Amino acid sequence: MNKDNNIILEVRNLDVKFFQDIGTVNAVNGATFQLPEGKSIGIVGESGCGKTITAYSTIGLLPPGGKITNGEILYTQRDGSVVDTAQLRKDGKEIRSIRGRDISMIFQEPMTALSPVHTIYNQLSEMIRLHLDLNEKEIRERSIELLQMVGIPAADKRIDEYVFQLSGGMRQRVMIAMALASYPRILIADEPTTALDVTIQAQVLKVIKDLQEKLSLSLILITHDLGVVAHMVDYVYVMYLGRMVESGPVDQLLVEPLHPYTKGLLRSIPRVRGERQDRIDSIPGTVPDAYFLPQGCPFHSRCNELVGEICKKEAPERVCVGSEHYVSCHIYSGSVNEGGAIDG
Amino acid sequence: MLSYIIKRLIYMVFTIAFISVVSFIVIQLPPGDYLTTMISQMEAQGDVVSAELEAALRVRYGLDQPMHKQYFTWVTRILTRLDFGYSFAYNQPVRNLLGDRLLMTMAVSASAMLFAWIVAFPIGIISAVKQYSLFDYFSTFLGFLGMATPSFLLALVLLWVCYQVFGTNASGLFSQEFINAPWSMARVGDMLSRIWLPMIVGGFQSAAGLIRTLRANMLDELRKPYVTTAKAKGLANAFLIIKYPVRIAINPFLSSVAWMFPQLISGMSITGIVLNLPTLGPLLLNSLQNQDMYLAGSVVLILSVLTVTGTLVSDLLLAWVDPRIRYQ
Amino acid sequence: MERQMIEDNFELEFEADPNDAIYNASHWKLMWMRFRKHKLAMIGVVIVIFMYTLALFAEFIAPNDPNFTSSQYSYRPPQRIRIIDSEKNWHWPFVYGLKQARDPVTLRLNYVEDTSVRVPISLFVRGSEYTAWGRVEGNLHLFGTKDGPWFPLGTDRLGRCILSRIIYGARISTTIGLVGVLLSFVFGLILGGISGFYGGAVDIVVQRITEFLSSMPQIPLWMALSAALPANLPPLQMYFGITIILSLFAWTGLARVVRGKFLSLRQEDFVMAATLSGTSNAKIIRRHLIPTFTSHIIAQITLSIPAMIIGETSLSFIGVGLRPPTISWGVLLREAQNLRTISQAPWLLIPGLFIIATVLAFNFMGDGLRDAADPYSQ
C-alpha cells in the first residue's frame, strides 16, 4: 500500500483466541490491514472467518472469553501520537475515550443493537453528551440535525419515538446517526445491511457512502458480499480462517482475482445483468473447524488449484503481485516476496 | 394503554366473580349448613329446638332456597352492605373480625414483598454481572435454600435461634402490653420493632425466586447486542449496565412479582399461624377447625381478592415501565 | 406365502425403527450425557435415590418401631456415636447410655450421658417385629443395639424414636409428591395439549382457567379444601384426598409448559409437512409432538414435585393435612409447634432437614434435566 498515505489505523499480525471449556477457538490468526485516513477499506469473508472479531478488537469489544494473544492495533490519534489499543486496559478510560469518540461502529441488527425501552433521543443524546461539550438545547438540536442528515423524515417528531416504532431501514439510519454523533474519525460498519430488505439495502449503503465522503471519514466495511464492496470501498481485504489471503484496490481485485478463494467467492455471486451464467458456483467443502487450524495453507482443503504437497505443509508468504495487490498463495510464490516489509 | 387497563379490569371482575363462587363452595363444603351449626350450638347450651322452629328458621335465613339463589343473596349482601355473614365461634358479624386483620395482613405482606425486592435486586444483578464468582455461588446457594425451605420451618428455626441468642420469644406482632392496646405511636413503634421476623420469613422464599429470575434475565440481557452498542459508544461499564440491561431485565422481574404475589400471600397464611400474627391466616385456620364457615369463606374470598388486586397492580406497573406493552 | 408375510412384517418394523427408536435413542443419549455433566443434578439424584431407598425399606432400615411409645424415654436427646471412650480407648462404634439428672440451676430433669454404660452398635440386629409391605414378617434391622435402647436422633414427647419415624415418614412424604405430580401431569397434559394444539377459542378458555387458578392463593384454598375432608377418614383415603387437593392447583404450571411447547412445535416445518401429507391430527401428536418434548415435560414434572412435598408438609404441620397415626414429615414437625417444645427438644426440627434435602435434590435434578433436555442450548 502506498506509504505516503496517512495511516490512521493499522492492525498487525493480530491473533484472537477464545478460551472455552471444550477447547480454544482460534478466531483470528495474524490478521493484518491498514486503513488510510479518509479512505474506505472492505474486509470480506464468509461468516466465521474472523472479520467481525478483528473489527471488534480494534476498540476492545471482544465478547467474553475472547483475548488478543498477539499483534498490535495501532491507532494514530488526533494529535498525531500512535496508541496500541490492544495494550489498553479492558473497558478502561483510555479505550473508552476512543470508542464512540474517535472510532464508531454500526452493527448488523439495528433492532437488537438498539435498546427497545429507551427513546431514540435518549440513546442518541447520550452519545453526544458523553463526548461533546454541549448544553441540553444544543444536544437536542444536534440530535435532530443528525437524524435529518441520515434522511429520517420528520426527525423532530421521530426522535421521541421508540426503535420498535420504526422500520428496519429507519432503524439502521438511527444507528448511523448515533455512530456519527460525536464527529468520529473512523467508522466501522459491520454487515450494516445484512438484516435489511434488499430494496432498503441500497438506500442505507448510499447514506453511509455519502456521509463518508462528506465528512471525510475513514471507513471499514465488513461484509460477506463482494457486490456491496464494489460500490463502497477503495481497497479490499479478503479474509479466510482469521487471516488475510488477498488484498488489493477494489477495481483490480474484483476484475482480476488471484487467490483461488477470492475467485471462488466471485464465482459464487449470482449475476442479474450481463452474460447468463449456466450455474452459480459454490466453493466446495466447508470452512475448517476453528478449534484445529489446518497445517500449511489454510485454504488447501477446499482449493481446486493446489500446487502440490507444499500447500499442505507450508503456509504461503504474502507476496506483492502488482501495484498494491498482495496475495498469500503458493501459486504466486515466485513473485517478489514483500512479506518481510509488512511484518517489519 | 387505557384499553389495556380496561381490559385488565374486566378480567379482574370476572376473576373475582369466579373467586366468590369458589368461596361460596368453601362455605357449603362441610356437611350441614349454617343452621345445623347454630342448632347444635343451641342444643349444646341446653336449648331444645323443635322441628317446626328449625323449618321456620330455615325459611327465614333463606336456606330453603336453591343453591344459586342462596349464592346471590350472599353476594348481594356483601356488595351492598359489606355483610359477610355471622361467625358462630366468635359470636359476632364476620365483618368485625376482618378489618384489623386485613390491615395487618396487608402490612406484613407488603413489608415482606419489600424485603424480597430489596434483597433480590442487588444480589440478582451482581451475581449475573459477576457470573461464576464466589458471590454468585453464594447467592445461588441462598436462592436454592430459600426455595427449598418451607416458610413454617424457617419461622420455627428463626424463632428458636432468636430464643437461643436473645432469650426472647419473637413471635407475634406486638409485645404483651400492646396486644390489646388501642392504636398509638408506641404501638406502631412496637409493631415495627417486631415486624422484621415475619418480613424475613415471608419474603425469603420470594426473594429466592426473584434472585433466580433476575439473574437469569440479566444473563440473557448482558449478551444482547445493545449492550455492545452501548459499550461502543464509550460508556462506562457500571453506568451502561444499570441503564440498559438492568432496565430491561426489570420488566420480567416486575412480571415475576405479579405471579409471586399469590405465593407470598399464600405463604403468609402459614407464617402467620406459626408466628402467631394477628393476620388472616390464623383466623382462617381457626374458623376451619371450628367449622365457622362464613368466616372461613370470607377469609378465602378476601385473600383471593387481595391477591388478584396485587397481581393487577404489578401488571399495570409492568405496562407502565415497558413501552412495548404501553404502545400496544 | 408365509415367508413373504414375515418378510413384510420385518420390513415394516425396520422402517418404523429409524423414525422412532434410533432418533429418540440418540436424543435420550445426548440428554443423558449433558445431564451427567451437571454436578448438582447428580448430587440430587443420589439424594433422591437415598430417600426412596429409605421409604422402600423403612422397616428394615429404621432401628426402632416408630409407634412404640414409652413415657420413660420422653424427649431423649440424640445420642452421639463414639469410637473413643472417656478413657481414650478405641472401640467399635458405640453410644453411651443416658441417665436422668436434675439440673442444679433450673431444677429441670435432663438427660446426661452415663459413661459407665457403653452400648455397642451392631449391624443386622434382631429387634422389633415388623411386617414389611404388608406381607414379609421379620425383626431384622440394618443397624441397632442389643443391650440398651438407642435413639440416634432422640425421641419425641411420647418417647418415640425420631429417626425411625423420619424413615417411615419418607414413605408418605416422598410419594405424595410423585402421585400428586402424576395426577396433575394428566390434567396438565390434557388441558395444555388441547389448548396448545387447537388454539383459538379452546385455547382462550383453557388459558383463562389456568390463569385463574394460578392467581389464587394456594395455601388458604388447600387449607379450606382439606379441612372439608372428614377428620375420621381412613389414612389411605386421607392420603389420596390430600394428594388430589394438592394437584388441583399444581397442574397449571405443567399445562403452561405443554401449551407453550405445542404452540411452538405447531409452527415447525415437519408438523406442517405431516399435516400437508394428510396424516391425522392424533397421529401428528403421537408421532411427532410428544417425543420432541417428553424431555421438557420430565424436567417440568421433576420441578413440580417440591411444591407438592412442601404443600403436604405445611398442611400437616398446621393440622389440616395428614393426621396421626399417619406418619409424614409434616406430621412429625407438628410435634415441634411451639417455642417451648423446640427449646426443650430442638432435635424435633430434624425432619425439616430431610424436607429441605429432598426438595433441594428435586430442584437440582429438575434444573439438570431442563438444561439437558435442550441439547442445543448455551
Which residue in C182, C359, C202, C189 sits closest to C257, CA to CA? Answer: C189
- d(CA C345, CA C339) in angstroms, rounded, equals 10
Which residue in C123, C156, C124, C118 sits closest to C139, CA to CA? Answer: C124
Which residue in B260, B272, B140 sits closest to B201, CA to CA? Answer: B272
pLDDT at A335: 53
- pLDDT tens, position by position, B75-95: 888 888 888 877 777 878 888
Do residue A164 and residue B324 have CB atoms under 8 angstroms apart?
Answer: yes
Which of C217, C220, C228 shows the shortest C-beta gap to B29?
C228
A131 in contact with chain B, both atoms CB, cutoff 8 A: yes
- pLDDT tens, position by position, C196-241: 777 778 888 888 888 777 777 888 888 888 888 887 788 888 888 8
3-state secondary structure of C125: strand
3-state secondary structure of A272: coil
User: Which chains are adjacent to chain B, needing at least 3 Cβ pairs under 8 Å?
Assistant: A, C
**Averaged pLDDT of chain B:** 82
pLDDT at C166: 92
- pLDDT tens, position by position, B245-267: 888 888 777 777 777 777 888 88
Q: Which of A136-145, B3-12, B275-284, C250-259 has the lowest mean pLDDT?
A: C250-259
**Averaged pLDDT of chain C:** 78
- d(CA B171, CA B201) in angstroms, rounded, equals 11
- DSSP secondary structure code for residue B174 in this structure: S
What's the Cα-to-Cα distance from A312 to each of A303, A305, B16, B265, rounded to whole Å?
Answer: 11, 12, 76, 70
Q: Where are the alpha helices (DSSP H) in C70-217?
A: 162-198, 200-214
Do residue B265 and residue C319 have CB atoms under 8 angstroms apart?
Answer: no
Which residue in C69, C95, C68 sits closest to C83, CA to CA? Answer: C95
Q: How much is the average pLDDT of C169-176?
A: 89
Name the β-bridge partners of C29. none
pLDDT at C154: 84
- pLDDT tens, position by position, A55-86: 989 988 888 788 899 999 999 998 888 999 88
Name the β-bridge partners of A162. A119
- pLDDT tens, position by position, B99-152: 888 888 888 888 898 898 889 889 999 998 888 889 988 888 888 888 889 888
Residues in Cβ contact with C199 at an 8 Å cutoff, skipping those fewer than 6 apart: C263, C266
Helix A168-179 with A198-214: angle, nearest 10 deg: 20
- DSSP secondary structure code for residue A337 in this structure: B
- DSSP secondary structure code for residue C156 in this structure: -
Do residue B303 and residue C225 have CB atoms under 8 angstroms apart?
Answer: no
Q: Quick one: closest CA in C to B274, which residue?
A: C337
Domains of chain B, each with CATH number or no CATH: 102-321 (1.10.3720.10)
pLDDT at C209: 81
- d(CA B270, CA C310) in angstroms, rounded, equals 12
The rounded percent of chain C whose pLDDT value lies above 70 is 83
Number of helices (H) and strands (E) in chain A: give both, helices first.
13, 12
What are the chain B neighbours of C219 within 8 Å (beta carbons)?
A: 266-267, 269-270
Q: How much is the average pLDDT of C119-132?
A: 80
The position carrying cell 479492558 is: A90
Cell reading at C123: 449391624
Q: Which of residues 303-322 of B touch C (CB under 8 A)?
A: 303-304, 306-308, 311
Residues in Cβ contact with A192 at an 8 Å cutoff, skipping those fewer than 6 apart: A106, A107, A108, A172, A175, A176, A204, A205, A208, A221
The segment with the largest mean pLDDT, out of A81-95, A266-280, A301-315, is A81-95
C220 in contact with chain B, both atoms CB, cutoff 8 A: yes
Burial grade of C12 (CB within 10 A; 0-12, 13-18, 19 or more): exposed
3-state secondary structure of A302: coil
Using the CB atoms, write b or e for C225-249: b if 16+ within 10 Å: bbbbbeeeeeeeebbebbbbbbbbb
- pLDDT tens, position by position, A216-274: 999 999 998 888 888 899 999 999 888 899 999 998 988 888 898 988 888 877 655 55
pLDDT at B47 over 50: yes
The position carrying cell 440428554 is: C31
pLDDT at A273: 53
CATH 3.40.50.300 fits A1-102+184-286, yes or no: yes
CATH 3.40.50.300 positions along chain A are 1-102+184-286
pLDDT at A181 over 50: yes
Domains of chain C, each with CATH number or no CATH: 76-155 (no CATH), 164-372 (1.10.3720.10)
pLDDT at A64: 79
B133 in contact with chain A, both atoms CB, cutoff 8 A: no
Which residue in A305, A274, A258, A244 sits closest to A266, CA to CA? Answer: A258
Q: How confident is the model at residue A337 (pLDDT cuts 50, 70, 90)?
A: very low
Radius of gyration of chain C (CA): 27
Q: Which of A292-306, C162-176, C321-335 has the lowest mean pLDDT?
A: A292-306
Cell reading at A296: 500449511
Q: How confident is the model at residue A321 (pLDDT cuts 50, 70, 90)?
A: confident
What are the chain A neighbours of B237 within 8 Å (beta carbons)?
A: 91
Q: Are C202 and C194 in contact (CB under 8 A)?
A: yes
What's the Cα-to-Cα distance from B76 to each of A139, B60, B79, rounded to whole Å?
Answer: 61, 17, 5
pLDDT at C292 over 70: no
A20 in contact with chain B, both atoms CB, cutoff 8 A: no
Which of C220, C228, C313 shows the shortest C-beta gap to B299?
C220
Which of B229, B236, B323 shows the shortest C-beta gap to A117?
B323
Q: Where are the alpha helices (DSSP H) in C104-161?
A: none
pLDDT at B7 over 80: yes
Q: Are A264 and A271 in contact (CB under 8 A)?
A: no
pLDDT at B253: 76
B233 in contact with chain A, both atoms CB, cutoff 8 A: yes
Biggest alpha carbon distance in chain B?
89
pLDDT at C374: 63
Cell reading at A233: 470501498
pLDDT at A279: 57
Torsion-angle region of C9 (φ positive above 0: left; ψ -120 to 50: alpha; else: beta): alpha
Cell reading at B46: 341446653
User: Which chains are adjacent to chain A, needing at least 3 Cβ pairs under 8 Å?
Assistant: B
Using the CB atoms, write b or e for A233-264: b if 16+ within 10 Å: bebbbbbbbbbbbbbbbbebbbeebbbbbbbb
Radius of gyration of chain B (CA): 24
What's the Cα-to-Cα distance from A208 to each of A71, A127, A193, A224, rounded to whole Å?
Answer: 30, 19, 11, 17
The beta-carbon contacts of A254-257 under 8 Å, at least 24 apart in sequence, are A254/A226, A254/A229, A254/A230
pLDDT at B224: 86
CB contacts < 8 Å between B and C, how many?
127
Q: Are B105 and B310 in contact (CB under 8 A)?
A: no
Provide DSSP, A162-205. Answer: BGGGS-HHHHHHHHHHHHTTT--SEEEEESTTTTS-HHHHHHHH
- The one-letter amino acid code at B80 reads T
C342 in contact with chain B, both atoms CB, cutoff 8 A: yes
Q: Which of A80-84, B273-277, C287-291 has the lowest mean pLDDT?
A: C287-291
- d(CA A218, CA B11) in angstroms, rounded, equals 58
Q: Are A71 and A13 in contact (CB under 8 A)?
A: yes
- d(CA B194, CA B166) in angstroms, rounded, equals 13
pLDDT at B327 over 70: no
pLDDT at B205: 86
Which residue in A165, A177, A168, A189 sits closest to A125, CA to CA? Answer: A177
